[in-house]
Amino acid sequence: MHHKNLRNMLIALTILTAGLTAVNGLTDPFRQAERKTASVQLNRTDELRVPLFSIESGCYQTEQKLMIQTETRDSTVHYTLDGSTPTPQSPEFTQAIMLKDRSGEPNTLSEIGDISPNGNFVPEDLVDKGTVVKAITVDREGNCSEVVTHSYFIGLDYGDIPVISLSTDQENLFDDATGIYRMGDTYKAWKQDPANASAEVWEAEGNFSQKGREWERPVCFELIEPEGSTFTQQLGMRIMGAASRTYTQKSFRLYAREEYGEKKLHYSLIPGNCKETDKAATVDTYKTFLLRNGGNDLDYAKFRDNLIQQLFADRDIATQSARPAIVFINGEYWGVYAIQEDYSEHFIAEHYDVDKDQVILIKRGELEEGLEEDNQLYTAFSTWIRNTDFSDPDSYTALCEQMDVQSFIDEYCVTILTAGEDSLTEDNNWRIWRTRDKDASNPYADGKWRWMLYDTEYSLGLYAGEKNGNFALDTLAAALKADSFNAVLLQKLLENDAFRAQFALTLQDLVNGNFSSAHTTALLDQYEALYAPHMPAQFNRFGPDWVVQWMKPYENYYADQVNEIRKFFKLRPSQIPDFLQNNLNLSPERETLTLTVNDAALGTVEVNTLRNLDLSGSWCGTYFADFPITLTAVPAQGSTFTGWSGDASGTEPVLTLTMKQAMHVQANFS
């Protein structure tokens, strides 16, 4: 018998023999439950204790019998089953609650309209449902304890991805006046304004588009891991996003605040998420985080942004780690989301070990985090760029003191490679950050501007299916004609020979490394295996109509969406050399470097900006002859570099090559 089921039976038996109301002390099984349940704590009076549940939150294969007990003498337990906050008027717990699969019951929240100006989608079929049990202890004077929440999913199995239960009073989301998920009264007023008669659907304003603390609502967040462990915390919740706020499935930003319980969330939300300053240190502290719907990619593959950010996570740009989850609201299925990091001063402090109060963050040219006077730093930087000739070595040196050049190059090369149409030529979806003051003890606190990758999903051929994909789109040529901040910066810096070489080499590095077909296809296969089993339920719940009407079975539709990305990954790399040759006037001469090591356990080799190469076999990369490439031998701890062999020789760890012919080079270690 599973240890959890045995434990639950023991606890239930204890309740039946001890009675439902309080005794002076807890029996041992409930002492165990108290230690394991984060919600169990004294309220402010230190007298009225919260109820204890005989079963922890989780996914169970069979029906369960739930008992609830209070240890406060002469008190009663009151509960709800719909996610609402219990009161003394809520049903009193007097007998066991039978927990079962409720998926056969009628949909409730899914039937609510007035959510999207695109047209409210109502699922044709029933959706999965769990049970959210909230309980309080009430004493003879009517005083109430804090609320304890547990969510149960019976007979539902979501494999290797976690389940998230969000529970809150329904009016917090769906009330016309105050519900943050609705179009509501705000939309009615917006629609009546004649000035909005010709507005696009994605420009519509409603309750869902409102921002600020007044549009934040309390929510109980429960995360159930695939192996059964759980995490619970009271948080604040807002709707987040830009145009995607108008969709039926909306994204959320969640906030840890002292007024809800804890100032921060202390849990490894995204396993494998590591600090930039120490790859062995896991990020397990969050002030805010996102539950993201996929943005522009919502109705297609849904994971483009997460895939791209993972592909380039080792580069000199900030990226957001993420993992998928199945979300329920008040026990009703709410689709596939990505648990994703949120950019803020707290993110920068956590990843780069800088003082959060020193962080300046600019989003699309506007101050997002920092002091009002920090705007002047960005404005001066931006104006100086447009008015400076960077072919002058002194001007370029001055620029390198103000920005991390490799960070900018990486960000723009990613945009070029992925054909990111939302930020390539428009002043959209770009962020930069720096510290206000300099701290010589931290290389990231040097006062230089650095770039942050986000909202990348309008890329990889999205919306380009009718054009046979956009894998041949010359995005470098487009960038050289645009007037956005990043595009102008690229144009100005290409006036400098050193930057031009660094940019061209980086773009070739990425084609040979991060964006190679072998690398992208392997990661795409992982994402497809993770997402595909859950997408039919996603499309059944949120549509859209054109998918439901024309694209069944959903499995085939989803496979087509992933194949669009697969096609892009296969065909895109071969286009990049032409972009470089045509736009930077490079010679047509290109040759292939084959790189090996005598023993991969003894050391590795860095190629220009490429690190972490797999040299268990041979590695190949193709480069133009215009710019020399640099190989750096890196011995493992306890090993020694002994020299190069093959088509190059020498004992210095740094080797410079000009690719005028195909070459095979081996690094040797002992």
pLDDT at 101 over 70: yes
Query: What is the spatial distance between Cα 437 and Cα 434, in angstroms, rounded to a whole number?
Result: 9
Query: What is the spatial distance between Cα 371 and Cα 224, in angstroms, rounded to a whole number?
Result: 39
Question: pTM for the full model?
Answer: 0.91
pLDDT tens-place string over residues 129-153:
999 999 999 999 999 999 999 999 9
DSSP per position, 398-422? HHHTTB-HHHHHHHHHHHHHHT-TT
Give the residue-averaged pLDDT of 483-506. 96
Query: What is the spatial distance between Cα 372 and Cα 290, in angstroms, rounded to a whole number?
Result: 26
pLDDT at 423 over 90: no
Residue 90: Cβ within 10 Å count: 18
What residues form DSSP beta bridges with 644? 650, 667
User: Taking a C-beta distance cutoff of 8 angstroms, is the pair 535, 562 a contact?
Assistant: no
| Confidence at residue 467, expressed as pLDDT on a 0 to 100 scale | 62
Question: Containing H/E element for 501?
Answer: helix 497-512
| Confidence at residue 466, expressed as pLDDT on a 0 to 100 scale | 61
Among 572, 593, 610, which residue's Cα sits nearest to residue 666?
593
Tell me the pLDDT band of 553, cut-offs 50, 70 and 90.
confident
| Confidence at residue 371, expressed as pLDDT on a 0 to 100 scale | 96
Query: What is the spatial distance between Cα 578 and Cα 474, in angstroms, rounded to a whole number?
Result: 9
Q: Which residues of 314-338 are buried (b: 16+ CB within 10 A; e: fewer)?
A: bbbbbbbbbbbbbbbbbbbbbbbbb
Give the residue-averaged pLDDT of 407-413. 97
pLDDT at 24 over 80: no
Give the residue-averaged pLDDT of 343-363. 97
Query: What is the spatial distance between Cα 643 and Cα 488, in angstroms, rounded to a whole number?
Result: 43
Residue percentage of the chain with pLDDT more than 70: 93
| Confidence at residue 384, expressed as pLDDT on a 0 to 100 scale | 95
User: Taking a C-beta distance cutoff of 8 angstroms, is the pair 570, 516 a contact?
Assistant: no
Give the residue-averaged pLDDT of 93-121. 95
Which residue would you say has higher pLDDT here, 457 or 554? 457
Determine which of 93-107, 244-258, 266-280, 421-435 has the lowest per-residue pLDDT on average.
421-435
Q: Mean pLDDT across the chain, nearest whole number?
A: 92
Among 48, 55, 63, 50, which residue's Cα sits nearest to residue 99?
63
DSSP per position, 148-189? EEEEEEES---TTS-EEEEE--HHHHH-TTT-TTS-HHHHHH
Query: What is the spatial distance between Cα 544 and Cα 496, in angstroms, rounded to a whole number?
Result: 49
pLDDT at 419 over 90: yes
pLDDT tens-place string over residues 36-85:
333 333 333 447 999 999 999 999 999 999 999 999 999 999 999 999 99
User: Taking a C-beta distance cutoff of 8 angstroms, is the pair 165, 328 a contact?
Assistant: yes
| Confidence at residue 41, expressed as pLDDT on a 0 to 100 scale | 38
Give the residue-averaged pLDDT of 20-30. 35
pLDDT tens-place string over residues 560-603:
999 999 999 999 999 999 999 999 999 999 999 999 999 999 99
Residue 120, Cβ density class (10 Å: 0-12 exposed, 13-18 middle, ≥19 buried): middle
Query: What is the spatial distance between Cα 324 and Cα 322, in angstroms, rounded to a whole number?
Result: 7
| Confidence at residue 231, expressed as pLDDT on a 0 to 100 scale | 98
pLDDT tens-place string over residues 266-286:
999 999 999 999 988 999 999
Query: What is the spatial distance between Cα 116 and Cα 501, in angstroms, rounded to a whole number?
Result: 48
Query: What is the spatial distance between Cα 371 and Cα 378, in angstroms, rounded to a whole number?
Result: 12
CA distance from start to end of the chain: 53
| Confidence at residue 20, expressed as pLDDT on a 0 to 100 scale | 38
| Confidence at residue 604, expressed as pLDDT on a 0 to 100 scale | 97
Residue 85, Cβ density class (10 Å: 0-12 exposed, 13-18 middle, ≥19 buried): middle
DSSP per position, 477-499? HHHTT--SHHHHHHHHHTTSHHH
Sequence-separated (6 or more) residues with CB below 8 Å from residue 549? none
Which residue would you say has higher pLDDT here, 551 or 321? 321
| Confidence at residue 25, expressed as pLDDT on a 0 to 100 scale | 32
Tell me the pLDDT band of 547, cut-offs 50, 70 and 90.
confident
Per DSSP bridges, beta strands 148-154 and 58-60 are: parallel
pLDDT tens-place string over residues 595-642:
999 999 999 999 999 998 999 999 999 999 999 999 999 999 999 999
**Packing angle of the helix pair 485-493, 374-386 (nearest 10 deg):** 50
Query: What is the spatial distance between Cα 67 and Cα 47, in angstroms, rounded to a whole number?
Result: 22
Query: What is the spatial distance between Cα 202 and Cα 545, in angstroms, rounded to a whole number?
Result: 17
pLDDT tens-place string over residues 527-537:
999 999 999 99
DSSP per position, 537-564? HHHHHH--HHHHHHS-SHHHHHHHHHHH
Give the residue-averaged pLDDT of 459-468. 81
